Amino acid sequence: MFDIIKAIILGIVEGVTEFLPISSTGHLVLVDEFIQMEQSKAFVDMFNVVIQLGAIMAVVVIYFNKLNPWATQKSSLEKKQTWTLWKKVIVAVIPSVIVGLPLNDWMDAHLMNWLVVSIALIFYGVLFIVIENRNAQTQPKFSDLNTLSYKTAITIGLFQVLSLIPGTSRSGSTILGGIMVGTSRYVAAEFSFFLAIPTMFGASLLKLYKFFKHGGSLAGLQGVILAVGVLVSFVIAYISIRFLLNYIKTKDFKIFGWYRIILGIIVIGYFLIFH
């Protein structure tokens, strides 16, 4: 019973942080230091990744029409633009697949800890503030997803590779990359959302495969725990995405930069003092 309550808490954390540029994996790693499930390490490691499926489904629901190339109400041009958008998303995902697959186990073993998360939180928090200040008076080159070039898409994909380091934030790295290459905040955020779909579905399937390959099972309570976490992350992520899209219509990302810096400093202080 207590593990279901913990799954709800972790689902809330995942839903809030997956699409805000503050690192969902980093937060889950930190929360795990205080709220530990009475389950095997293999299950917890799998749970912390697969729980993101709920958040990804929130993107699919919100953008179903925009991402659906078969929508009957779309014109031939709009259907073509949707297919082109998917091609750009797939191209942008390739760098993470090339780098992430061979390094996945090594990163799990060496980078999933509070120190790496804290440093990444602070570093990219500073970078957000610097980039936003630099671009304060700059007009974006791309204010519409349909104008995004393949070159720009793959450049953003290269930034997504940085998010393989816990605490970086997949949405944070891609949004930063988008802004740096000339997209508007809105376009950067939306393209980041769309990149999450194949990226996180792939990561989740890989984790599930490894979990089952090594004898894992979702029979009984573990299946319920995972289902609860995924469902809660879906609901909270839906709200979080709506909030972010409204927020960036009139504001920049600097507040998230400051949040990252403050959280990183607090975490370092806590572990230096109490561990």
Q: What is the pLDDT of residues 136-154, one digit of tens each?
A: 888 999 999 999 999 999 9
Instruction: Quickly count: other Cβ atoms within 10 Å of residue 223's Cβ.
Output: 11
Residue 183, beta-bridge partner list: 142
Cα-Cα-Cα-Cα torsion 51, 56, 61, 64, nearest 10 degrees, comes to -150
pLDDT for 174 equals 96
Q: Give whole-number Cα distances, 32 to 76, 133, 157, 232, 260, in Å.
A: 49, 34, 29, 17, 18
The three-point CA angle 238-173-82 to 5° equals 60
pTM of the model: 0.91
Q: Which two tokens stand for residue 221?
A: 């309570």
pLDDT for 124 equals 96
Residues of the chain with pLDDT under 70: none
pLDDT for 122 equals 96
Please report where in the chains the tokens 């913990």 appear, as a residue: 6
pLDDT for 189 equals 96
Instruction: Quickly count: other Cβ atoms within 10 Å of residue 66's Cβ.
Output: 15
Give the type of residue at 171: S
Please report where in the chains the tokens 């519409």 appear, as a residue: 144
Give me the numbers of helices (H) and strands (E) for the chain, helices first please: 12, 0
As a whole number of angstroms, the distance between CA 137 and CA 103 comes to: 39
pLDDT in tens, 153-186: 999 999 999 999 989 999 999 999 999 999 999 9
